[in-house]
Structures are given as structure tokens and as C-alpha cells.
Structure 1
């Protein structure tokens, strides 16, 4: 850099009030780059580019000019001005250059030095993503001029499909908000918006040939209020739908941000709203009512009625005219068979087609619709239930019930989008705080999202090629406004974006959190109501190796100091400062809080412990819990923490349709006065109490004697099973819990295996 350039920069910065002319050469410091998702390769240089009002953007095609306009919209928020867009320029310029590299169309390079910034995209998408990275190189503070650090970046995504879903059937969101949702996706280099447009509780897209879908199916008389189990309703009519012109507007807006919109038209289940409008499409003929409660309804499209297929073909014709996407999502999930089992038309169709059961009938339904879409040059995506009864030939599977469906589909050489609830369901709780807004259940903190690896270890390298990417799902049963929606999605979507874009071997959660400290200021500029749990105090219960447990406290808040108490009193800066893991030596409550400048930040950590003989002892389980509700280790069963009623604390072991058995080994043969375990009864969420619980005791771990049995349980909430014993001695204690089995007809989830939940195996 010449001395003239140094003087020029110094004077400019001084005029802007950003620099003193007595200061050394103004260069952005190394380590100032903070980009989410992290690029594949970044190297910083001892150089910088001064962006000011005289800087120009050089763009030579319409796509790059649109991208330049999007950059200017962001810049204007920071500086108050936009840069001129020209077709020529060199110095003091941002050069957008789009090539035609087919190796990875979304890849780009970005270099910044004192003369110019050059972004070379392999395609228009690559250039766009390069500009998104450039935006994150800008300071987050408002100024008239700003330095951009010298960098050399080479970048391309790891996965081709990087998705975010939104359910607008349960709750409806405006076009303006959908555009903001797309803006935020683009900021994080997500490229697929899965728009869930039809549901039992509302049909949200205009279909001109069937006006009753707008007039009837888009409205419900009221909405469930509170938890499903409460069975309360608000008494307020609710509705909304998108006109075809609005849909076109959204699709074009997304395309300008290099995002593909995949529409979902649910079939054969989740179709109650459509049946209400056109009752002849159901097995019973109605009457039907648009759903007012959450859960799964028995009424679905009649698979034996040819009018259903003609109706859906007509609907899909109008949908395909609006959405140019290669894929159309046809749902296929949670479709009860109880109506089909009794429907003469469905049974006749099964006999006519030689179908062995109703699962095969669903496969027939899906394959018939797939053939129609294939004839129009489109392909289908469906939830992993479309595997049941035989997979449609060209279908892509979206694996949501854990990873097993994805594994099965990949082994059959079908493309897969991974979206398991354990890592990708953003309607789950993200904090254990008592003041969290109501959510569907589960526990999914940002750290767990970030830990996700989309390619299952069970797949070979050839099979792994069928994993095209992953997607977060946002179901809106309890999410009824935009502030709540943003709170549930961010920063979890930022974490997933890095999982899907950045190289696996370069991902590091601590680095991500450091970058997030800067990144949330960008979310502030976009007025996003993001959750701040990442920076609160957290606690991890661990085995202390001495026959007990300890709690490791942590906070990612810069400058924060943690104080704690063990006597249930509220922590203050006068309480015990945290310096080492807190040893739990008796029953009681540990409370901890991070303080910044003497003031509490975010939610407090609050955990009650139950001290007992089985605490931290060796535990073994006969079979693993379901991946959707599986704590980090079996140690959780004897860690002194009882799972909460909302089951959002990652303490509960969940078994879907299967039994539970566990054995705890004490240090020696000794007196046992009490055995216990907790379970849950929340039938609205498909969680049932066991048929029975049996405890047995053994001296040698081979020969067991039954000591307590229970087979009656409370109707609702947590059931604390406790067996008080007399004159019992032993070293090994076994618990066996028998699953309820199939959920009965008429109940939520009818026909599915019931969930059995268990936590804290207590021995005294």
C-alpha cells in the first residue's frame, strides 16, 4: 500500500469519525472474519478494502445486477447510501464475475485487497453466495465508510439440498413474513423452502377449479388452546389462504434469492380440510369439519374412489403451474388405515389390484400419483412412510422418524433428505427454562443441532451419495405468531446451515458460538426475535468417578461470571463463584446464574437432584431407546435427575411400541427398602403408561426374584412408581416395563405403537 493511499484512507476515516490520523496504518485486524456458515477455506491477509460512497459495483448480467441490488439494500441500512452499479470499473470496486463451472454451481471465490473486492461465482447462485459472505465481512455497526478485511476465500457447499420447512396449515403467516423467512434463509445460504400448504386444520393455497377449498377448507371454527391434553379451545374463527398471484410473488422472490420453493400437498392423510369442502372424496362421505385440534385424524382420501385421483390431478396441475420446482412434496405421513379397512371401495380396489394389505394400498395410492407427476416432468418427495408397502420408483424420501427411513431408502438407491426429529424439529423446546413458551415437546438446543451428521455411519461410501442434504422442520401447532416463530427457528437454523454447508472436519461448536456473538448483531439489524439460550448458563450432569455425580457449569457469554447455590436460594454475585464442577452430595436443588456487569443474563440453571443408592451406579439396558427420545448415555437413568412433565429436558428414555428393561448393579449385596421409576401418561402426545412394571432383585446377576409389581397408573402426567420393600437384599436390581402396545381406534395416533417413557431408576 502506498503512502498516498495510507494518507487518503486516514483522512477519509477521520472525516467519518472512525479514525484518528495519528494512528498507525488502518488495516482490519486478523481474526476479524466471522462468517456463518463457515466457508470451506478462508485465509486473511494484512490488507483491507475501504468501502465508501465512491465505491462501485461492477455487474454485467441481469442476475448479478439483482444480486448487487440485494447487497445495496443491506448496505443502505448500515451507511445510508447505495453504491452505483456499473458494467465497468477496476479500482475502488466490487467486481461480480459469474462463470460457468459445473463442478459445483453454488461455489465461488472471494478476494479482497486495497484496490477491489472480486467475487467469482461458478454460476449466478455462486456469485449470490459470495455476496452473502461479503455482507458478513462488513462491520455490524452503522458508519459512513468501513473497512473490509483482506481475505482469500474459496467456498462451496458440502450438501446440494439445504432446506427449511414451514407449516402454514396449523397457523397462517403473511406473504411479507414469508419473504422475511426467505431473506434469512438466503443469509445462511439455505437453498430450499419447503412450503407445507395443506393440513387437516386448513387448506392454504387457491385452487381455481375447486373454489370450496378457499371458501370452506381454509377456515376452522376455533383452535385448540394450550396443550393437547387440556382439550380446551379458544372459540375464535381462524383462516387464511394464499392467492395464486401471491404464490407467484413468493416463488419469484425466492428465485431472486436462489431458493427453490417445494410445495407440499398432503395425501392421502392430513386431508380433513379438503374433505370438509368435498365430502365425496372421503370413505364415509362425511359430514366432515375442518380440524380444530392437533394430532392425527382417521378420515383420509378414499383410495378406492377414482374421483380422488382426478381431484388431486387437477389440484396438482394448478400447483405445477405455480411452482417450477423439480419436486412436488405429496406428504404420505401419518395416514391411518381404519377407514380403508371398512370401506367397500378401498377393499374392492385392493382385491382388483392384488394388494395384500392397507399399507400396500397406500403404496398404490402414492405410486399412482407419482406416475402422474412423472408424466408432467416432475418428481415426488414424501415423508418416510412412503417406504411402507413398497417405495414408488423415482421417489425421494424425507426421513423424519429418526434416521432409519433414510438408511433404508439410500440402500435402495433412492435420494434422501434427512430431517430426523432428534436434530431437525425446530418445534421442540430449546431450553429447560420454566418460562419457555409452550412447544410440542422434546428438547433440541443449538448445540445438538450443530452436532448433527447427516450421513449415517451405517451407509457405505456409495450409499452415502444418496444423502442429498437435510432440512429443519417447523410445525406450527403451538407457534401462532411471527415473534414466536423466529424465536424457535433462530439461531438453530444458523447452526444447521453450517452443518449443511461447511466441511465436516472444520466444524467446531466453540468457534461457531464465537462467530454467533457477532452474527446475532446481523439478526438484530433484520429485527429477528432470536433466542439467546446459547449464552445462558448451562449445566451438564456427569459421573464423578467416585460413585456420585457432579455438574459442570458453563456459559458462552463474554465477560460473564457464574455464581451458584445448593440450598435452593436464588444465586447472586454474593453467592459461591463457580471454579470447578459442583459435587452433588445430597438431595436438593442446584441453582446457577451467569452475571454480566453484576446483572443476571438470561435464564437461570435450576436442577433438583434425588440422592439414592443407585446414583451413578453401573446400568445396562436390554435395548436402546428410540433415537427421537434417547439421552446421551444410559447413565442418565441413574443421574439423580427426574425428567420433567414437559419431557423437554433430554432425561426421558422413549420406546415406541417396544418394552423397556434395565439392570442397575450396586457396589455390594445390601438391604433394599425401595425401588422406583418414573413414567408418563400423555395420551394426546401418543405417550401411554406401561401395562405393568416389575422389579426383581438378584445377588449374582443371574437368578432374579420378583419383589414388586404395579399395573395401575394415574390418568394424566408423571406416574412415580414406588415399591416399598421389607427384608430384601441384593446387588442387582432389574426393572421391566411392558409397553401399552397399539394405540386404540379413536385416539390420537390410532394404529401406531404407543410411546413408553421411563426415567430415573431409584434404589434405596
Structure 2
């Protein structure tokens, strides 16, 4: 009888711990680990977690880490595993310290009887445990008991370590305040993705978010602004002195301690940012004497540009104030790095401030550039004396970089390149790839964003190191970080949408070896992870499924050739033209679509008969001016050339993304454009397509006048549109139409007048995308 039992346990059909439950052999496709481990070997068989599985630990810190996974089992399975220091014969997960491997590395060995996890640090154990969590069924993320789920993980060997030591996210809690509970959720998600730095942007013009005992008015006054949330960010008027300020909030010091402690348990370092010398109107509203002019101001409710109300470095009291704040901040945050901002300071007031000018003279400084450098070097010295390192945005390079400072490079990679050449440590966070306040899909279908276009695939292309760096420079690149500025992000759900799944892509490019990075492979794994994100109650974007259309115009034959694509390879795209409905049985896109006449296009990705992402809706209108000769006076700006001279007559319409290659731009100039229709044609309507995005300096025209001619020499006016200027904080598109009684003409001329009412004779952009003649 015993021999028969042995054969059942160890024969051709394997059973788990002789329990009578068959072993499962996992396929490679079932292994969804993000970020991709450095080395991984999948073997046959599985390990089964049960109520009798035991954690084996060496100390209290390991016990605390084991609790992170145990809490998941308590919710999803209804039981917890015993934690002890004694090693049973089988059915256990054992933590073993191994100082011979890298600081954040871990080694994971899983067989049918046990799970062995080795690491040199608490972080390594956390990352190994997060890998086990991802290997478990997605139901481990359930808040309630997950039915009859079998808690299996594959027999596997993993040797893993991060590529970069700084893997971060900046959360802007100033422009819009996010409660402590949401910050804790963000920390959980960073740990899940093996990211290790949360940078909290605690101070900006629109709100001071941290309690400072020495200066209570910073939160009494600076943490609240007049509620103008019903208005667009860049269209909010300056609050009147004395208006009731009710919108905002702040973290008490006890809440900060809770956030920092919660993060520490999960291997996440919290880096505080206390802005200076600019982005501090919230502080000046509380303490006007900190500025040069000592003017009484209100905390602004929306966008401010240029930022002239900044700290006065000519006064000793300014440095006393900042040092006292930093002392309290350092008591709360054990982070090696203290971020001090240093960006976007308009130093106009310093030029005329007697205190600043005296400081420049006494310190033998060349001007206000060097005065800012003096400011930063003095703050750096104070931080160094207290055992901390200053880090700031790349503007701190201007006038000379503090000796031991680190740089966070956001204006591309140039600042980081220069700082690393000078021997300074650098965190790369360029707006081009890791600004998560940018759109991740077409602005026509996405929630409101700051601007720009950073899809999931572009995040995956990010690398903090560039080929032009020397070996020595590369050693100074600590890693990378995403920045989620919150001007246009008022809610938790919106914040999650902008963060996910882009944060997942970032985690892989900052952790995994370069040779392991493969967009096609990642595309498959991230789609398999989406159901897990849903169970984690994350409001992630499905924008990567969205279909985009690239159109080539054959102007001679008046044909359009449409190419449809999505970010995810091998997606099934269905499309319909004209009045056809888009259904699972619609045509499957396999080759470019040819259009010879006006038509509407509907297209979407289908999976199992259901639409994934948004449906693309595009109208292609062939009108009388299509492919006709155009002239412009003056010529369009070299920075926004669209498709060249044919841009306004090529059927293709621009989107709210003014970098989409379908816009012609002029800066501060009235424009005259002329179209030759080639022959006399009947004209009833002329439409001019334009964009407005005042936050980016793009304004609608204020006057459009239409003229026609039969011979091209003498023109007669047939209509005009006058439009009074209006504040508009949104990005909008509009066709301005001039209707007329039917007239015959060969030539059409439009005179377009730009807005010229900006203070200081500032110039605005005029953006045009199509002239439609019918």
C-alpha cells in the first residue's frame, strides 16, 4: 500500500505534497512579471500556498515584510500564514539574508515543496515578494474572498536586480491636493512595480501642503485658495484681497510621519520638494515680507506666468525662514536628498530690489543669474551641514552649480548631460518621455491634459543614459523619474488614469536590462496585467488600444491613402465607412484604405467581439479647394510647417495636439492666404479651421475677411467675421464660416488678423489647418 502511495506522489502524474491535487506545468506565456527579471528559468511543476504554509524569517524586519503578502492572503483567501524562525520539512517560504549579492537584488527559488528567497537588504526581500505576488493568480488582489482559487505559483528560478538605482515618480499635490489615503495607494503601487522613490511636490504658487510648526500661517493661509474649479486653469482671475479661500488642504506632521513610515515598510523613499526661490506665492501670501516688494497677495487659484513674486535673497530673514523650514522637513523625511526646485524664477524684482542689489555687490556677483546660484549654494551648504544632499531642477545649473548638488533634468537631457560632465549625479525626467500630465492618446478623445503627447510606447523608449555620454558620465546617472503635474488633474481617478499604464512601462525600462527590453513582448504582458490592475481598483487608460489614422494625400489624383494602427502589435482593427455601422463583423483592416470621395471613417480594436479603447471617428471631406495651389503672405513659421503648402487644402484635419503635423503656424503676424481653384467655380461657403490653446500661446483670429476674383488681379470682398477676444483655458478647434449667395470665382483670398492684446506687446500664435470651399 505504501509503495502505491509513493508511486502516486512521484510517478508520471505528479501531485502536490501528496495531497491528491495534480501539479500544474506553467507555460512561458502565463508568466506575467513586470518589470521583466534579469534572469529567469521556468521549470515544470508548481508550489501551492495553503493555510498550513509557513513563512520562515530571521528577524522582525523580515517578519514585517512577510506581512505585506500575508495581508493579501487574508483578504483574498481568508487565511494568513504562520510566521516563525523554525524551518519545517516542507510547505514554507524562507527568507535568507545574503550579503554577497547586490543591495536591491534578490534570488528566488521555487520547487514543489518550498520557496527560497535570498536578498541583501529589506528592499531585495520586498521586490522578491512582489514577484511572488505577480506570479500568483490575479485574484490575490481581491478585497474579498476569491472563491475556489488555487494559490499556485510555478516552479521557477529568478536572479534579479535593477538596472538603475533611482526609479521614481513625482506627485504634484500642490496644484490640486490629494488626501493622505491616496498617497498611500500610490506608494503601494510603486512597491508593486519595484519602484523606490516617491517625490512629493509639496510647495507651489497654488498651495503649501506641509505643516510647519514655526510658521503656522503657511498652512492657515498658504494651503487654501479661492475656489475657481469651475473655470479653466489658465482662465482663472486673480483673487480679490479678502475673498474667502476654501479650496485646498495640507498634511499634518503626523500624517507626513505616517506616509514616510508606510513607504519605508514597502521599500519606497519619500523625497520632499520645498520650492525656492520661485513657485512660492502661497508662502508669500502668508508672509509678504519674504518677497522683494512685500506686497500683500492672495494664493493664486490657477496658472501664473511669468512668476515674479519670488523669495528675496537680499534679506537675511529669507534664509532664516528657509533654514527653519528645512530643519522641520529633515526631521520628518529621512531621505538623503531634499529637493529645492529652483526652476522658472523670473528675476525681474531682483533687478530693482535694493536688498538684492546690495547682496550682488557685497558678494561680488555678476548679476541675478549668479544671485540665484548664490541662493542655491547657500541652501546646499546648510543641507550638507545637516547630512543631506540638495537636488533641484536643471535650472540650478544657471550661474554655477552648487558643489555637491544633484540635478533632475526636465528640459530634455541637456541639463543632465552637462551636470554629469561636471561630475554631478543626475536623475533624468525629460518632458519628452516621462511627463505624465501629457496626453497619452488623441486630445480629441482624452481627458483634459497639460498638452504634449506621450503615449505608452514612447515611455517604453525612455533611457536615462544616452550614447553621447562618456563612461564617467554614465556612472553619474542615478536613473529616471516620471512627473505628474496636477494643474489639470483634480481627482484621484484622473490621476490614476494619467499614471497607468505608463508607470508600468517606466518601471520596466528603469529596472530590466537593456537587452531584455522588447516592445512586442511587453505589449503582451501589459495586456495580461490589465485584469490585475482592475482588481487593484486602478482606473487605467486604454489609450494604447486606440486606432490612429495616418493619411497620405495624392493631390494630383485627389485620393487619400489611410493607414490605421494601434500601439499594440497584432491588434485586430475593424473599420466602417460612411453610414455603415461598426460591428464585430465589419471589415478587418489589412492594408491601406483608398478614399476618392468624402466619407466618414469609424475604426476600433476588437477583442472577443468587444471594442477595446476608444472608437476613431474621422470625417474626410473632399471640397473644391482640395489640392489647389496656395500662396501665403508672410510664410508660415519654420517650427510649424504642417504638410507644407498643401496643408490647408489636403482634406486632413488637425487635432488638439498642435504637434500632430497638420497645422501651419504664424507668430504675431496677420496672414493673407490665396487659393487658385484652377477654373471658375460656384462658391457658397468658405470655412477656415483654427485652434485655440491660450495656455500654449495659441489664439483664435479676431477677424477674417474673404475676397474673390475671377482673374486674380482685382478682388472683391464677400464677407467677414469679427470675433471679440475671450479668455479660454481649454484647447478648442473651430471652423470659422463665411457664407455668401452663390458667386463665381477662380481665386479666393482670406485675410486673417491675429489677437494683439497681450500685455507688453506679447505675440501670440495663429494655427490654421484647412480652408474648406463649397
Instruction: Measure how far apart 1:167 and its partner are.
Output: 0.9
Take 2:723 and 2:151, find their aligned partners in 1: how far apart are those partners?
66
Take 2:664 and 2:218, find their aligned partners in 1: how far apart are those partners?
39
Q: Find the counterpart in structure 1 of residue 411 from structure 2.
A: 401
Q: Find the counterpart in structure 2 of residue 420 from structure 1.
A: 430
Q: Find the counterpart in structure 2 of residue 450 from structure 1.
A: 460
Take 1:483 and 1:640, find their aligned partners in 2: how far apart are those partners?
37
Tell me the SS of whatever aligns to 2:374.
helix
Task: Say whether the 8 Å CA contact 2:376–2:396 is kept in structure 1.
Answer: yes
Give the root-mean-square deviation of aligned CA atoms.
Answer: 4.6
Instruction: Measure how far apart 1:561 and its partner are.
Output: 4.9
Instruction: Measure how far apart 1:87 and its partner are.
Output: 1.1
Which one of the candidate residues 377, 390, 399 is aligned to 1:380? 390
Pair 1:321–1:126, CA change in 2 (3 A): same
Alignment of 1:254 with 2:263, yes or no, is: yes
Which one of the candidate residues 479, 482, 485 is aligned to 1:469? 479
Pair 1:146–1:557, CA change in 2 (3 A): farther
Instruction: Measure how far apart 1:340 and its partner are.
Output: 1.7
Which one of the candidate residues 555, 559, 563 is aligned to 1:551? 563
Tell me the SS of whatever aligns to 1:442.
strand
Tell me the SS of whatever aligns to 2:411.
coil
Task: Say whether the 8 Å CA contact 1:56–1:93 is kept in structure 2.
Answer: yes
Q: Find the counterpart in structure 2 of residue 478 from structure 1.
A: 488
Task: Say whether the 8 Å CA contact 2:654–2:663 is kept in structure 1.
Answer: no
Pair 1:423–1:639, CA change in 2 (3 A): farther
Instruction: Measure how far apart 1:276 and its partner are.
Output: 1.0
Task: Say whether the 8 Å CA contact 1:265–1:330 is kept in structure 2.
Answer: yes
Take 1:688 and 1:454, find their aligned partners in 2: how far apart are those partners?
36
Task: Say whether the 8 Å CA contact 1:384–1:400 is kept in structure 2.
Answer: yes
Pair 1:656–1:350, CA change in 2 (3 A): farther
Alignment of 1:99 with 2:98, yes or no, is: yes
Take 1:462 and 1:250, find their aligned partners in 2: how far apart are those partners?
36
Instruction: Measure how far apart 1:169 and its partner are.
Output: 0.9
Instruction: Measure how far apart 1:500 and its partner are.
Output: 0.6
TM-score by length of 2: 0.81
Q: Find the counterpart in structure 1 of residue 193 from structure 2.
A: 188
Alignment of 1:493 with 2:503, yes or no, is: yes
Q: How does 1:214-229 map to 2 (within 5 A)?
A: 214-229=219-234
Take 2:477 and 2:645, find their aligned partners in 1: how far apart are those partners?
30
For residues 610-654 of structure 1, give each alpha carbon's deviation from its aligned partner in whole angstroms, at most 9, with x where no partner exists: 668779xxxxx999859xxx999999999864332x327744789
Q: Find the counterpart in structure 2 of residue 44 from structure 1.
A: 42
Tell me the SS of whatever aligns to 1:49.
strand
Alignment of 1:510 with 2:510, yes or no, is: no
Equivalences, count:
717
Pair 1:758–1:434, CA change in 2 (3 A): closer
Alignment of 1:572 with 2:583, yes or no, is: yes
Pair 1:502–1:650, CA change in 2 (3 A): farther
Q: Find the counterpart in structure 2 of residue 287 from structure 1.
A: 296
Instruction: Measure how far apart 1:10 and its partner are.
Output: 7.5
Tell me the SS of whatever aligns to 2:48.
strand
Q: Find the counterpart in structure 2 of residue 697 from structure 1.
A: none
Instruction: Measure how far apart 1:194 and its partner are.
Output: 0.2
Task: Say whether the 8 Å CA contact 1:549–1:639 is kept in structure 2.
Answer: no
Instruction: Measure how far apart 1:485 and its partner are.
Output: 1.3
Instruction: Measure how far apart 1:191 and its partner are.
Output: 0.3
Q: How does 1:690-705 map to 2 (within 5 A)?
A: none
Tell me the SS of whatever aligns to 1:309.
helix
Task: Say whether the 8 Å CA contact 1:229–1:682 is kept in structure 2.
Answer: no
Q: How does 1:196-211 map to 2 (within 5 A)?
A: 196-211=201-216
Task: Say whether the 8 Å CA contact 1:50–1:147 is kept in structure 2.
Answer: yes
Pair 1:622–1:649, CA change in 2 (3 A): closer
Task: Say whether the 8 Å CA contact 1:381–1:398 is kept in structure 2.
Answer: yes
TM-score by length of 1: 0.82
Q: Which runs of 5+ in 2 are unaligned?
A: 140-145, 629-634, 670-677, 703-721, 727-731, 738-744
Q: Find the counterpart in structure 2 of residue 166 from structure 1.
A: 171
Tell me the SS of whatever aligns to 1:126.
helix
For residues 392-423 of structure 1, give each alpha carbon's deviation from its aligned partner in whole angstroms, at most 9, with x where no partner exists: 22221111122222222222222111111121
Take 2:353 and 2:49, find their aligned partners in 1: how far apart are those partners?
70
Instruction: Measure how far apart 1:114 and its partner are.
Output: 1.1
Q: Which runs of 5+ in 1 are unaligned?
A: 616-620, 660-669, 692-711, 729-736, 748-752
Task: Say whether the 8 Å CA contact 1:400–1:418 is kept in structure 2.
Answer: yes
Task: Say whether the 8 Å CA contact 1:676–1:762 is kept in structure 2.
Answer: yes
For residues 80-101 of structure 1, give each alpha carbon's deviation from its aligned partner in whole angstroms, at most 9, with x where no partner exists: 2111112122521111112223
Take 1:366 and 1:654, find their aligned partners in 2: how far apart are those partners?
42
Task: Say whether the 8 Å CA contact 2:652–2:662 is kept in structure 1.
Answer: no
Task: Say whether the 8 Å CA contact 1:224–1:294 is kept in structure 2.
Answer: no
Instruction: Measure how far apart 1:473 and its partner are.
Output: 0.8
Q: Find the counterpart in structure 2 of residue 683 from structure 1.
A: 694
Task: Say whether the 8 Å CA contact 1:333–1:385 is kept in structure 2.
Answer: yes
Take 1:502 and 1:625, find their aligned partners in 2: how far apart are those partners?
36
For residues 548-581 of structure 1, give each alpha carbon's deviation from its aligned partner in whole angstroms, at most 9, with x where no partner exists: 64312348599x7532123276523454332323
Larger Rg: 2
